[in-house]
Homo-oligomer: A and B are copies of this chain.
Amino acid sequence: MSDNNLVISVDAMGGDNSPRVVVEGIARAHKNNPDIKFLLFGDEAKVSEEMKRFPNLKKFCTLVHTSERVRNEDKPSQVIRNKNTSMYMAIDAVRQGQAQAVVSAGNTGALMAISKMILKTIQKIHRPAICTLIPHKKGRCVMLDLGANTECSAINLAEFAIIGNILAKHSLGIESPRVALMNIGAEEMKGREEIHQAAKIIKASHLDLNFIGYIEPHQIGEGYADVIVADGFSGNIALKTMEGTARLVTGLMKNSIKNSLLAKLGLPFLFPALWSLKRTMDPRKYNGGMFVGLNGLSVKSHGGTDAFGFSHALDNAAKLVRQNFVQTIRDEVENIDLDELSQDILYDVY
């Protein structure tokens, strides 16, 4: 697709500091992606007010007024019935072909529910997942599911392995990504039954996956795997624990330095090194959870991010559109029937 036709639909009212952060994020993303057009949905008065700060914006942004918005406390079952929210309309623009991807910093559960209802799950994929790239000491890896599915069957996990594999190939450029299931031990008997079953299904499937078995969470940072597959509950636990621990370690370090006069003297020397570390670990650069397994591209930005973080979510969405990500997944899963396979395997076991 030529970038001249690339349109990203944006929920201007999603996130903690919308529409300010959203509008500023678009202005930033434009610098890296001068050919992309943006279709904004939100309260006309509020969004236009923010847009005044960037007079250039009008050239590549179209604003559609919406009178309502999804709030953080809204339940998915409610939001799917209200077609007038900025989130609903932004997603619907993808279904209608007005945009190739949608980005929102709003309520995750709502975004997934509406995306699923409007864009529909790809044939042969049972459940969409939330996916992101996380840093390890040698680079980055793909991790999914991060919270779309609190409970997952073996089939769901096997499907996530397929999707993650495609994403690692295309987004990270890894020829034969090492795919692993997250578990609490390396031994076959450890952990939950659905994980054991998923391993059997993947191994028996001739999927041509470079499946390396189980990975324990303390190994993720070592870079042992390129794709980490988990159910949405455990994946979310791991992701949030990473975030909290990184903050704890750097916070304790700051305190140690603050309490030492000697360290304060040495700090200017270390500044460039600490700055480079900060850049590597900056969570804003990993902003943009992709909803994968849908007939359309839906990207969730962290609700509390700033304009720099939001622009990364937009960059992310643009990259996936250019890689024709949705069609690639559709093509690759067309010939796979994991359901049939899993029945054979369950029959073997019991």
Binding site for B on A (CB under 8 A): 73, 75, 109, 135-137, 147, 150-151, 182, 184, 187, 189-192, 216-222, 232-234, 236-238, 240-253, 255-257, 259-260, 262-263, 265-270, 272-274, 276-277, 280-281
Contact = CB atoms under 8 A, between A and B. Distances in A.
B247 A221 contact: yes
Given A147-B184, A220-B244, A221-B244, 7 more contacts: A216-B240, A218-B244, A222-B248, A241-B241, A249-B281, A257-B273, A266-B268
B257 A270 contact: yes
A217 B245 CA distance: 9
Given A238-B241, A256-B273, A137 B266 contact: no
A166 B260 CA distance: 37
Contact of A270 (B220, B245, B270): B270
Contacts of A276: 256, 259-260
Chain A residues touching B, majority SS: helix
Given A256-B276, A276-B256, A221 B234 contact: no
B184 A240 contact: yes
Q: Name the 10 nearest CB pairs between A and B, nearest first.
A: A266-B269, A221-B248, A218-B244, A263-B273, A245-B245, A217-B240, A266-B266, A256-B273, A241-B241, A217-B241
Contacts of A242: 241, 245
Contact of A150 (B109, B192, B265): B192
Contacts of A266: 266-270
Given A241-B245, A272-B262, A252 B137 contact: yes
A166 B308 CA distance: 46
6 contacts: A137-B252, A184-B240, A217-B244, A252-B281, A253-B273, A263-B270
A337 to B, nearest CB: 29
Contacts of A267: 266, 269-270
A233 B272 contact: no
Nearest to A108: B185
A265 B222 CA distance: 28
Contacts of A259: 273, 276
Contacts of A269: 262-263, 265-267, 269
